[in-house]
Amino acid sequence: MKIGVLISGRGSNLAALIEACAEPGFRGQIALVISNRPKAEGLQVAAAAGIPTLVVDHQDFASRETFDAELDRALRAAGVELICNAGFMRILSDGFVEKWRDRQLNIHPSLLPAFKGLHVHQRALDAGVRITGCTVHFVRPEMDEGPIVAQAAVPVLSGDTPETLAARVLEAEHKLYPLALKLVVEGRARVVGEQVALLEADGTEAAPLFVPAI
């Protein structure tokens, strides 16, 4: 399955996906990495792995729709069948999201549906939660909503700052996203209604994928 990865910055989740795709027998291949920011460090991560990159700078477009149309064109031209948002910090138009319905994944650094949006770690600390984590889900027009493929739990420790908590969650993200992507490329994570049904390799129903505290 040809995968397109959308990034805006550092690209550490992209690096984890590149590593996963390099595993023998992995049934996905990253065909294109697109950044909406010309200076995203993730562009170098992709280039170092020999993966084609493209900058589609949102500032060059008059509207969200024209920006999204260019993303769509580039992804289709590269033969992409599945999109992975990996630290992509632009809201996509409903039209784009619907075109890629059930073919676009996102990773979010909280246990959704808690803490959608920005400043998630500060908000988790402010709320006093003892456990947070990360979620991989199929994308829907509403921000940080959509059928959940997998989640990982991460403890909040006393003395945590948004930075220390973000670093601990990020480690979990790097394990979770490859796991979730593997399920999707193998056809073992299917959207049924608005939930994800997980199947074992032999086609029988699997338990929800929950990665315990890391």
Question: Does residue 36 belong to the site contacting ligand GAR (CB under 6 A)?
Answer: no
Q: Which of 58, 108, 119, 121 is catalytic?
A: 108
186 Cβ contact list (under 8 Å, min separation 6): 27, 201
- 108 among known catalytic residues: yes
Of residues 162 through 191, those in contact with ligand GAR by CB under 6 A are: 170, 173
Among 11, 28, 146, 147, binds ligand GAR (CB under 6 A): 11
- Total residues in contact with ligand GAR, by rule CB under 6 A: 14
Site for ligand GAR in 49-78 (CB under 6 A): none
Phi then psi for residue 187, to 5 deg, are 70, 20
The stretch among 20-28, 72-80, 105-113, 122-130 that binds ligand GAR (CB under 6 A) is 105-113
Q: Which of 3, 5, 9, 150 binds ligand GAR (CB under 6 A)?
A: 9
Query: In whole angstroms, how close is the CB of 12 to ligand GAR at the nearest point?
Result: 3
> Which residues of the chain form contacts with ligand GAR (CB under 6 A)?
7, 9-13, 42, 86-87, 107-109, 170, 173
Catalytic positions, please? 108
